[in-house]
Structure formats: C-alpha cells, structure tokens
Chains A and B, each alone.
Chain A
C-alpha cells in the first residue's frame, strides 16, 4: 500500500513538473519541442504497443504503420483534397481505426511470435504502399503549412501549445487505458491473454475480442500519428519505416512491455488467471521465483494453439 502511495506521489510530482516546464523556462524551446513533445507523442505510440502486449498478449510491430495511416490520411485530405484540419483529423483517426480493425480481423487467430511477424509484414506493406502510390504520398511525402490554430498553428516556431496538447492527450490516453482495463472488456481481454481456451469455453468470442483490442490500440496510435504531423508539419514514408517501428518498440520495451497497466488489473489478474498460464511453462522451464506473472504473459502463446 505504501509503495502504491509513493508511486502515486511520484507520478503526481512528475506530472506537475511536466505542466510547469514551459513557464519555468528550465528547457530551451528546442528541448521543449524536440525532447518534450517528441517524447510525448512517441510515448503515446508506445502506449498502444504496451496496451496490446500487457492486456492482450499481442506484441505488435505494426503500430508505426497504423499511426502512419492516420497521419497520411490527415495530411492527404488537407494538402491534396483541401479539407479543413478538424474533419481531416477525425477522418484520419477513423481510417486508422478501421484499418486497425481490419488488421485485427486478419490476425485474429495469430498469436505469439507469429503475431509479431504478421504485424511486421503489415508495417512493411503500409510503408511500401505510401512509398509507391504517388497519389497519396511517394517518397517525397507531404508538407503542411501549419497545424490547426488550437495547437499553435506554426508549431515549429511556436511549440509551447503543441507541447501542452501532447501532454493533455498523453494524460487522457493514460486515464483511458486505466479505465479500459477495468471494464468487462478489459478483464475479458486479460483472461484471453492468459488462457484463450478457457475463455472460449466460457462463451467469450476470443477472436472478436482480439480484433477489437487491436482496433483500440489503433485508436491510441492514431493520436500519435496526428500529433507527429503537427510536430513535423510533414510526413513521409521514412516516418514509418522499419527504424521507426523499432524505435517505438524499443520505447515500449524499455518502459516495460507489461508494466504500464493499472494496479487494479494486476491485482485482479494476479489472483486468478495468471498461475494457470504459468503452470504449464514453469513446470517445464523450472521455477521462476518471485517473478510473478509478468514474464510469462508474453510467452504464454505457446499454449495458445
């Protein structure tokens, strides 16, 4: 309990610090934007990886592609079709979510390392799609004059508003994920991660849950995609290439693929489902003292077939 409170205090302190960074001038404008804002939007992209890995047991290498779909659609609609910013932004996010759902449906029965490969392939397809189809991008990419006024318009010269926008959205994403993992959907998802066979026999539609979870991940990633366009005022296929995919994954891994989830979900999971999923594995590969369930969740798909 005390540890939890210390954690909460620490989190609150960090949040206050982040809010106060611009007025205190502790960072130069460059660092505020290139370190602060960049970390925030990459963090949102990584959060979608972590959400899927921690709660669905799905390690995705396709999140960069999905935020690319959002970013490209937004930029295309503004630059090539001449839409206003806000309709284009929502259309971009909507497209990314629909795309995520489609990928989720294709991958609904694919688990573990195969899921990793499939999403990697999706990432490469999206990259080549935007590289090759000149009508939507081509290698040159798309350049915007400015972002919406709400986030500061010319975000390169005036980065402070975008920083706050990214900060607020990061906080919202965090709260949203915390909320979602406590809903029946979130709990069912964790159950599926740990023992899909049991969940299926309990009457849950395992595959649909996976697909929907992936769409939710896509929704989170699409926010990052829009922010990245605000941030760079351009997007090109190199924004979503394999290096970028690895960067997003690396952020998620360094942060802990199974870490960013609410304490309550850990508790609810810890008592019931996890020992089940560990038992088969720990019997084979020896004991794992004190490691709880974190390390087995990612390798559990071995039993998933």
Chain B
C-alpha cells in the first residue's frame, strides 16, 4: 500500500488537485491534445528564485547580491525597477512572452539553512530556476541537492568552493562565476616575482572556501619554486588572533597569504598590527580579505595590500564602467566593486541569455533550456565568460591593490583562467583542505611564466 501511495499515479493525481479547478484540467487537455508538453500555455511565467544570505557573517552582502541579479535582468529585458531596496520589485521583465517572476530566499550562510530555503523555493514555490547560494559550503549542499531535482535548473550565486562543480558535477548545476582557486590566479606569481618571496605562510579561516583560495595560491606559488613554511587555520569565530599570529615563524619567512571567508579581516589586521606592525608588503590577501566593507572599516591599515579577485575593482575600461554605472543608477547604495554584486550580476546574465536562446521555453523540466545554457558565452564587464564541461566558468582573473583613500587599482588581468588551473586540479585530485594541495615545484600555469 505504501508503494502505491508513493507511486507516480498518486503524485499526478495530487498535482491535478493541487493545481485545482478548470484551469489545470484545461491545460492538461491542451497538453494531451497537442501531444507535447511544449504547448503549455505560451504565457506561463518563469519563476526565478534568488537565494542569498541575509543573516549570519555574510549578511552585509545581501543587498549587493540582489541588486546585481536585478540589474542584469533590467539591462537585458528592458524591465523597470520599482524602488531601490534589497528586495524591491522589478516589473515588466519578459522573455519570449513569458513574464519573469523573482522570488527571494534568505539563508544564514550555513549549509543546513541554505538547503531548507532551497527546498522551500524549489518544492513549494516551484521555481524553475534557482539562482544561488552565496557561500562555499552552501554551494556544495545545494549542488548535491540539485541531483535530486532534475527538473529544476540550478545556477550558482557566488559560492566558490572547488568541490561544487569539480567533484559533485551535478548535470543541472551551472556556475557562471569562477571558483575560489581561480580567483587566486596571478597572486602566487605576484608574491614570487614582484614581492620576491621564497618562503610564505598561509593563514585562513578554517573551512572550504579559504581552503580553496589557499589551494590556488599554493599551487601557483610553489610551481614557480616557492615554499610554504606553515599553514595556520584559526577556527571560525576566533576573537583574538594573537595566538595564531605568533605561530608565524620569526625568521626565514618572507610573507603570508591571508584568506578569510567573511568578516575576519578587521580583527586579524588589528591584532597583527599590534604585534608586528603594518601588514602591507607582508600580506597578500584572499578575494574577500579586501572586500570594500573591510577596507572602509580599517581605513588606511590595508593600504597597498594586494589580492586576487574575479573582478577588476576600480577598473576604468568602458565595459566595467558601463556595468558600474548601471548598478549605481538603479541601486545607488550598492558598491559595484564587490565581487558579490558582480557575481550575481553575471549569473543572472547567463540565465537570461540562456532563456533568450530558447525563447523562454522551459517546458519538459527545462531540458532544452539547460542544453542552451551550457553553450552560453558572452563578453562580460570583466572579459569573456564561457562554461567548461563541468559547467564551471572560464573567465579572466585580476590582481587588485588597495590604494590609499580606500580605492582599488587593478594591476594585472589574466585571461581565460579555467578550473584545472593549468593542470593542477582535476576531478581526481583531492578536495582542497588544511594540508592539500601539497607544495610541488614545477609545472607552472601558463600565466605564471
């Protein structure tokens, strides 16, 4: 009896009832008559769920993510924003006659919580496309979940753990942004060649995103001939970094790479300057380490610090300026120089291009749409973006410096960084961790030569 209840017949019956009334019956009749489900009402709306974080350590980035996603929608579909709040509506978005509906979900950056929100959006609100989540471990949870929901298309937010696409490889999970290791492309070279470091230390928050960032730095720095003396991982929620800063060897170390996931920069830099003075020239940063919120909180203490970034913060090129102006026009309170704004902007851009290719046809669980989505490629504000076989982006990466006065300057643009990182990472390499990857000399990526 249990099996009968759980069977497909029961579910179809329920869906009919849930749909309720004549409309559903009529729609089904049409579908049956036409012999294909493609004939589902031409004006059926496309629901896009936007999953971001409005609680926890990443809460400050909530308005940035939603603004980025909506700006892309506005620019591509000619929709109009109503208000500039974090979730104020966008009206008139249409693709191939299908109106676009946005639904917002909000987590606290914990995988458990993200999964709960994703399930609400997918199973109850029944979104066709889920855009998100924001942070590393959330992404791993959601990509695992996406395997159980083959009829829904999942597009990553800014979550940048390597595992999400390289190891989980869910067929309906797409990432139009690069991963945390790719964000480090060029930084190892900068440390080795420009700063002249031979021996470096890695310090980072103790979880998957900083591991991934460290992996990118270590792979490139070591391939050139550098050595990693020590890797220090303060637990999340560390208040006083003194006991970790003193673990940096006193001699034989030229500098350290500091990768935080969220908002640890402020505490770390303050503690460091109390014990060992200015961080400039001694520290290179992970991508979130020089987030605009940290820079504005710390004032001049971050001056001159260099980090790897997926976006050319403060760039003066026309494409970037156009993007930055659009963000500021529609959502004046949001910084376009945040990778969270740009990340959600890119992901939404990819979604809309995919939808346009199939003229808004997401019938049959979106199979056609996903086939089109995998082939989407365009020239973004920060260079060309396309997907690899695991549906992870191949895009440019940037070396960015904090200038005095709290601005940013892009030092270098590295073209077409892919997830294998010049052959260092593959589905068979172990996931980045506290001690992996090992520091191996030789086989430098093409951009490091």
Contact = CB atoms under 8 A, between A and B. Distances in A.
Interface string A225-249: 0000000111010110100100000
Nearest to B13: A25
Given A25-B13, A134-B433, A232 B115 contact: yes
Interface stretch (A103-111, A139-147, A274-282, A297-305): A139-147
Nearest to A228: B112
Contacts of A157: 148-149
A131 B434 CA distance: 13
A33 B113 CA distance: 16
Contact of B124 (A28, A134, A238): A28
A238 B137 CA distance: 11
B240 to A, nearest CB: 17
Nearest to A241: B110
B111 interface: yes
Given A25-B14, A140-B140, A164-B2, A31 B112 contact: no
A18 B107 CA distance: 30
Interface in A26-40: 28-31, 33-34
Contacts of A132: 206, 235
B337 to A, nearest CB: 28
B143 to A, nearest CB: 9
Interface string B130-158: 00000011001100110011000000000
14 contacts: A28-B18, A30-B124, A31-B124, A34-B119, A128-B235, A140-B207, A152-B6, A156-B145, A156-B149, A160-B6, A160-B10, A232-B115, A238-B112, A241-B110
Interface residues of A, number: 34
B208 to A, nearest CB: 5
A88 to B, nearest CB: 19
Contacts of A23: 5, 10
A231 to B, nearest CB: 10
Interface in B80-111: 110-111
B29 interface: no
A71 B102 CA distance: 35
Contacts of B281: none
- In the A-B complex, the 8 residue pairs with the closest CB atoms: A238-B110, A30-B123, A139-B207, A30-B124, A156-B148, A238-B112, A160-B6, A143-B144
A259 interface: no
A131 B120 CA distance: 26
Contacts of B144: 143, 233-234
A156 B142 CA distance: 13
Nearest to A238: B110
A152 B161 CA distance: 31
Nearest to B144: A143
A25 B17 contact: yes
B123 A34 contact: yes
B315 to A, nearest CB: 33
